[in-house]
Structures are given as structure tokens and as C-alpha cells.
Amino acid sequence: MTTYLLREGHSVRVDALPIAIRVQPVGGGPFGHRVEVAGQHGPVRTVRRPDQVIVPVIDQPVQVSLLPEGEAFGPQSVVTVALGPDSPAGGDADRAVLDQVDLSGLHRRDIVIMEPDAGRIKISTVGVVNDEALPPTAEMARDAARGVLGLPRLPAERRVRLAVGLDTSASMRRLPPDRLVRPCLELFAGLSVVIAGDQTGHGTLVGWQSVPVPTGPAAEFASSMITGLADRPLDIGCRSGLFEQSTAGPGADRTARFLITDAVPPGLAGRTLTGVVVIGEAQPPGPLGGGATGVPVLSDDQPLDRDQVGRIVASLLAAAGPLIGAGNLIGTP
């Protein structure tokens, strides 16, 4: 028997036997879910047992999806999905496994398509299978974005380049960066996994000059920006127009541009910025009007909570709505 570990875009072929679908939560905790089995050309007969769903015959393309018992999957809803023979004769037959499938924040997640193929059954993954590990705030932002959009990741034709400018003026250096700007940067790291074509952010330090920060994985985005900030002298003012100019060129029409600052720059109307994020100790989380989103600066030992992250992410997605094909978003979860 061979066990195939399925990844995004992968397919395997197994023997044409009744297929059992088993869903196991990672960590073994309680997990409420429903397995949906839908045929492309008509109903599919299934046998449901407490620990599995069996598809006796696959004679058409069949999509397998996971749905929550409530409105959406809760935080840290991570599962392993195994698909293999449900027959004593299939003890040595091949199996397919999808591990670490993160469902958090989703209203449904399509998992695989099973279809007959030259006397065997072809099992193909659908969409994202595995997610990279993210810092906690970034993970919450990713989950919130998926909840708003109803997708683990935008389709390729709706993805954008995510450009994030960070104001480096003196007022933005008044507190340690881990407290003042890291939470906000991690929000964009999580958002990038869902809406960006390359699943990361492209950072620029914006003061009297505009300085790009080397691009890396989403999990390292905040740290890369903070490292770059530490190497910059104090600036007087933030020339946000330089940030807009630095993101012009090929692909500019598919670029979402956000500036992180502590005050909305004048003359925002008519500019090419997608949105402005205003951070401050008294800022309410979420939409502020005029294309701005508030992010509160909390005490050293108090991270943003899931509700605050949800409001902020919904506002950012609403600002980017026309770019990502989600123009009906209203900015609140």
C-alpha cells in the first residue's frame, strides 16, 4: 500500500473501489463539520458513518467539500483528510492524504475532485491545501480575510500585488516598533496570503525618501520591515507621493497600495493609494471614512483580539474591493 501526500495542484490515481473519506482534527479536539459530496452530473450515493463518509461508486466527477456545523469554522480548525478504499479487498490499495488543511474562518472549503480515469479513480486537489505558519496576528488576519471573502485564496484573475508603505517620520518612531507597527504589518502579512498573487507583501519605507525593503515570505514581512526601519535615520515628514511613484510601472493597475501612518495625508482624494492605515493609541479599529482604516496601538502585553482584527481586515478589503472583484464589501465583518 502506498500513501500519497497531496499538495496544491496535485493528482493521484487509486484503484476503482468504494472510497471512504475520513476527517480527523489535528490535535484531536472536538470539531464540528459536515462532508458534502456533490456529483457534476447528478446525485451521488453515499453511506454515512460516525467516523467517515463512503462513496460506493464513482462514475462521474465528484467534488468533496467540508462545511461547518455553524456559520463558519472557528479559529485553528485544522484537519487531516484521508481518502482510501472501504473494502476488505482494498487493504493493500493506495490511499491519498491531505494533511494540515486549515479551515479557519471559512464557510466551506472544497477539498478534492474524484473522477473515473481509465479504469481507476483520479483524485485531484482543489485550491489551497497547505498554509505556511504565520505569526498569531497574521494568522488571525488571514482567517478574517477568508471569512469575509468566503475563499481560502482569491482566484488567480482577482489577485493583486500588495504594496505596503510605512511612514518613517519622527512621530512614527515614538514607541518601540514591536508595539507601534508590528501588529499592523502582520495584518498585511496575513492579508497577502489570501489576496496577493505571490502571497506576500512588498514593503517600502517612506520618509523624505522612498526605500524598498527586500521581499520575503509573508511570515517574515513584519520583521523585514522593522529591520529596515532600524537602519533608517529619523525623517522629517512623509512624502507619500514618492511611495505612489515607486509602485508605478508594469502591473500598476493590479497593485493595491496601502500607507501606514499616524495621520491621513492631505489631498488623499484622487490619489492612487488604495487606502491609508492610521495607527494611534486612541484609534478605533476599522473604517474611519475617506478610505482610511484605524488600528489601535495597545499596551505592551495586549495583542489585538480577533474581533478587532476582523473589523480592520474587513475595512482593508472594502478599500481594495474594486481591485479584487469584491466591490460590495462594506468594511465591517
Domain end, chosen from 78, 96, 125, is at 125
DSSP string for 65-87: EEEESSSS--TT-EEEEEEEE-S
10 and 109 fall within a common domain: yes
Domain residues for the domain of 18 are: 3-125
143 and 292 fall within a common domain: yes
248 and 218 fall within a common domain: yes
Domain end, chosen from 73, 92, 125, is at 125
164 and 265 fall within a common domain: yes
Classify residue 181: in a domain, yes or no.
Answer: yes
DSSP 152: S
Classify residue 19: in a domain, yes or no.
Answer: yes
The CATH number linked to 205 is 3.40.50
- CA dist., res. 333 & res. 327, Å (int): 15
Q: Confirm if 78 and 101 have CB atoms less than 8 A apart.
A: yes
Domain count, the chain: 2
165 and 74 fall within a common domain: no
Classify residue 298: in a domain, yes or no.
Answer: yes
Classify residue 333: in a domain, yes or no.
Answer: no
pLDDT in tens, the chain (333 residues): 788 888 877 899 999 999 999 999 987 556 789 999 999 998 899 999 988 999 999 999 999 999 998 888 888 888 999 999 876 555 567 889 998 888 888 889 999 999 999 999 999 998 765 678 899 999 999 999 999 998 889 998 999 999 999 999 988 998 889 999 999 999 999 999 999 999 999 999 998 888 999 989 999 999 999 999 998 888 788 888 888 888 877 778 899 999 999 987 665 545 688 999 999 998 999 999 878 999 999 887 789 999 999 999 999 999 999 999 887 665 444
Terminal alpha carbon distance of the chain: 46
Classify residue 330: in a domain, yes or no.
Answer: no
Classify residue 15: in a domain, yes or no.
Answer: yes
- CA dist., res. 262 & res. 260, Å (int): 7
Please state the pTM of the whole predicted model.
0.82
- CA dist., res. 232 & res. 206, Å (int): 10
